Amino acid sequence: MELAVKNPDGTATPAYLYTGGKPFDAALPCVVFVHGALHDHSVWTLLARWFAHHGHGVLAVDLPGHGRSAGAPLASVEALADWLLALLDAAGVPRAALVGHSMGSLIALEAAARAPARATRLAMVGTAYPMKVSEALLNTARDAPLRAIDMVNAFSHSGIAAKPSYPGPGAWLHGGNRTLMRRVQALQTGVNLFHHDFSVCDRYAGGLEAAAKRQCPASLILGAHDQMTSPKQARAIGDALQARVHTVAAGHALMSEAPDAVLAALRSALA
Amino acid sequence: MPGPSDPGFDTLALHAGAAPDPTTGARAVPIHLTTSFVFESSEHAASLFNMERSGHVYSRISNPTNAVLEERVAALEGGAGAIATASGQAALHLAIATLAGAGSHIVASSALYGGSHNLLHYTLARFGIETTFVKPGDIDGWRGAIRPTTRLLFGETLGNPGLDVLDVPTVADIAHEHGLPLMVDSTFTTPWLMKPFDLGADLLFHSATKFLSGHGTVIGGVLVDSGQFDWHAAHAAHGRFAELAQPYDGFHGMVFSEESTVGAFLLRARREGLRDFGACMSPHTAWLILQGIETLPLRMARHVENTRKVVQFLAAHAQVARVGYPELESHPDHALAKRLLPRGCGSVFSFDLRGSRAQGVAFIEALKLFSHLANVGDCRSLVIHPASTTHFRMDDAALAQAGISAGTIRLSIGLEDADDLIDDLKRALKAAERAGA
């Protein structure tokens, strides 16, 4: 579905939300899914469908400038967190569980800190804090984004035979993720979205402060073989959040490499 | 910045989609000859049916052995995924049935395998899907044939049997200018010789019966999606592809382009076309094709090496009027082949014998190593007379449009010693000469 999300200047920009294959019902307990860099809502669809068909209202967002959502990409995790809260307003949702992957996990964390009473649960999937990006990779993302996509794609997968595949059998995860990143990148002609998103992750410095402000129970769902955001790099934020940690046998692309294990972890995290 | 990349072609040919079996430790891909898969619970069953989980339900829709083949071919092609089908024809039909219906129109190359031409020209017309055929090199013809009802542009990477080289980048540009996808039949080239997705194609399929299997043992097809075509945008701009961008009552009201940005086509093809038409692949067939793919890089290199030697021999022979191989400067698509097929132009080509039809018959019947049959891409060398076999339904005008004459002989060069193949051809050419005396 599409919603008009209010901008700080009072104007509104259309945003696309995937609702899990059912019409969104704001009266149900709400789960919001926030994707990572150069992704869109489609990284969540199996999980979103499961929660939508098990008693939840689901909003899997396309962030501004990503996928089908209009507007320019926003410049910081803080701005994206404000946008997420404005989106909840537009959807008529007073409180929601916030689930984010990678860059999206930082947005979910910051939103939970900015409006502690509105977050019922926080689940950070494939996360680390600080989410520093090497200067060499940032430069490659700036100068040769397609090469950087290939590198990140290889870094993000723990193998070449993950089963049962995503979104269904016969899908080649490396190819699907590479194509998704290329397509999301190509949608923006005025900005190098890959470099932009990685810079947003790299610059975010409010994680520990946000962890102190949020009030809801928090969980980390981590890929044991994650080379982008290794479990070791998530330890500090996990301690600060006093989070329950779920580790699944996957790399950074854990929703596609281990969809059943992530579902089990998320069911536990949001229970 | 140097950094990691996906594994190389030869590694993917051996490993993509397959790991040692977690239950038994089996290193080779197990053959899962089972119709169905046990649900863990009623909730698990419902979530599989509703696409809340990924997994196998019934082998007509998906199967673990087939899934390895599908992932492997998609990996080799650089695609987002694939569907294994009962034959190459089934793959072509599945693609068209997913995108087109009564009142739809296709623009296709005129240089097609006879079976594909038959499906498009006669059979699909009976179901209200019309096709306009254009010469593959007639770029204005491609553009001019597109109508508001067009849903697909389609050609073979190397046309059958004249080896017309499809200018994939140019035809893809034309398709995309009109909000349409380009699909190619990559059977003759395999991903080892050409990666059509890198050149702009959106969909492709293989008759896996041929080089992917490589041993002339099984019939199968594989339909691969690049994931690059934006069905949602095409629907928004032109109203086309409602099958992918609007709710489908036949599967939970699903909007496939919402479910998967890059996998919408394959989701619909599997959840509708494979489910309803049922042209699935046997897991045993999938396993045999996987065995073939493991040696695809080695075989293709040898196929091309042998073909070059045979082409050189035939091109210099007095009994041969013409050899149609794009690596020869005499081929009309020589320059295009150098650009798009730097590793070679495959191992299937045709040549024209001088003399009468009777001399052609004498030639074929004198061959000993070459088998006279209707197939290509076997590890054994093959020969056929297209005008009387694969293309026999075509009249003379259609034959001429496909670049075939009554004296055209098609060869598929195998993996034997090239000297033995040349000796066989020498003997047969001598027999043809004697028959004309």
CB contact under 8 A, B261 and A42: yes
Q: Which of A130, A148, A152 has its CA nearest to residue A228?
A: A152
pTM of the full structure: 0.97
Identify the domain boundary among B222, B257, B291: B291
**Residues 51 to 70 of B: which have CB under 8 A from any A CB?**
51-56, 62-64, 66-68, 70
Domain for residue B164, yes or no? yes
In a shared domain, residues B282 and B303 = no
Task: Quote the mean pLDDT of chain B.
Answer: 95
Identify the domain boundary among B256, B291, B326: B291
In a shared domain, residues B219 and B327 = no
Q: In chain B, what residues touch A164 (CB-CB under 8 Å)?
A: 54-56, 67
In a shared domain, residues B395 and B272 = no
pLDDT of residue B386: 77
**Which of B252, B261, B266 shows the shortest C-beta gap to A170?**
B266
CB contact under 8 A, A164 and B12: no
Domain for residue B9, yes or no? no
> Which residues have a Cβ under 8 Å from the Cβ of A260 and sit 6 or more positions away?
A164, B53, B54
The DSSP secondary-structure symbol of B119 reads I
Task: Quote the mean pLDDT of chain A.
Answer: 97
CB contact under 8 A, A172 and B79: yes
Domain for residue B346, yes or no? yes
In a shared domain, residues B77 and B220 = yes
Give per-residue pLDDT as tens, A233-263.
999 999 999 999 999 999 999 999 999 999 9
Identify the domain boundary among B291, B321, B347: B291
Q: How far apart are CA B309 and CA B326, in angstroms?
A: 14
Q: Does A153 touch chain B (CB under 8 A)?
A: yes
Residue burial A92-123, b: 16+ Cβ < 10 Å; e: rest: ebeebbbbbbbbbbbbbbbbbbbbeebbbbbb
Domain for residue B414, yes or no? yes
Q: Count Cβ atoms below 10 Å from residue A75 Cβ, excluding itself.
A: 12
Copy the structure tokens of residue A119. Answer: 């977050």
Domain for residue B14, yes or no? no
Average the pLDDT over B61-66 and give the result. Answer: 98
Lowest mean pLDDT among A259-268, B26-35, B309-318, B378-387: B378-387
Res. B2: pLDDT tops 60: no
Average the pLDDT over B377-401 and give the result. Answer: 80
For CA atoms A231, A232, A233, A235, give the dihedral sign.
Answer: positive
Let me know: does A61 contact A17? Beta carbons within 8 Å. yes
Task: Please report, for the domain that includes residue B118, its CATH number.
Answer: 3.40.640.10
In a shared domain, residues B286 and B308 = no
> Which residues have a Cβ under 8 Å from the Cβ of A54 and sit 6 or more positions away?
none
- What domains are defined for chain A? 2-270 (3.40.50.1820)
The DSSP secondary-structure symbol of A158 reads S
Give per-residue pLDDT as tens, B139-191.
999 999 999 999 999 999 999 878 999 999 999 999 999 999 999 999 999 99
Chain A residue at shortest CA distance from B271 = A168
Domain for residue B91, yes or no? yes
Residue burial B39-67, b: 16+ Cβ < 10 Å; e: rest: eeeeeeeebbebbbbbbbeebbbbbbbbb
In a shared domain, residues B247 and B109 = yes
Give per-residue pLDDT as tens, A72-127.
999 999 999 999 999 999 999 999 999 999 999 999 999 999 999 999 999 999 99
Task: Please report, for the domain that includes residue B405, its CATH number.
Answer: 3.90.1150.10
Domain for residue B94, yes or no? yes
In a shared domain, residues B265 and B366 = no
Burial of A145 (0-12, 13-18, 19+ CB in 10 A): buried
In a shared domain, residues B431 and B317 = yes
- Strand pairing class (A57-61; A30-34): parallel
The Cβ-side half-sphere exposure at B229, using a 13 Å CA radius, reads: 34
Domain for residue B271, yes or no? yes
Collapsing DSSP to helix, strand or coil, B348 comes out as strand
Copy the structure tokens of residue B66. Answer: 């087939």
Give per-residue pLDDT as tens, A127-161.
999 999 999 999 999 999 999 999 999 999 999 99
Domain holding B430, by residue range, is 296-435
In a shared domain, residues B142 and B193 = yes
Copy the structure tokens of residue B229. Answer: 């075509």
Q: How many domains does chain B have?
A: 2
Pairs across A and B, CB distance < 8 A: 164
Res. B391: pLDDT tops 80: no
**Which of A21, A41, A179 shows the shortest C-beta gap to B252?**
A21
In a shared domain, residues B83 and B106 = yes
Specify the DSSP element, H or E, that contains B13: helix B9-15
Q: Which of B51, B120, B381, B317 has its CA nearest to residue A22?
A: B51
Copy the structure tokens of residue A64. Answer: 């501004």
In a shared domain, residues B257 and B303 = no
DSSP string, B271-322: IIIIHHH--BPPHHHHHHHHHHHHTHHHHHHHHHHHHHHHHHHHHT-TTEEE
Q: Does B262 touch chain A (CB under 8 A)?
A: yes
Give per-residue pLDDT as tens, A163-178.
999 999 999 999 999 9
In a shared domain, residues B246 and B315 = no
Amino acid at B76: L
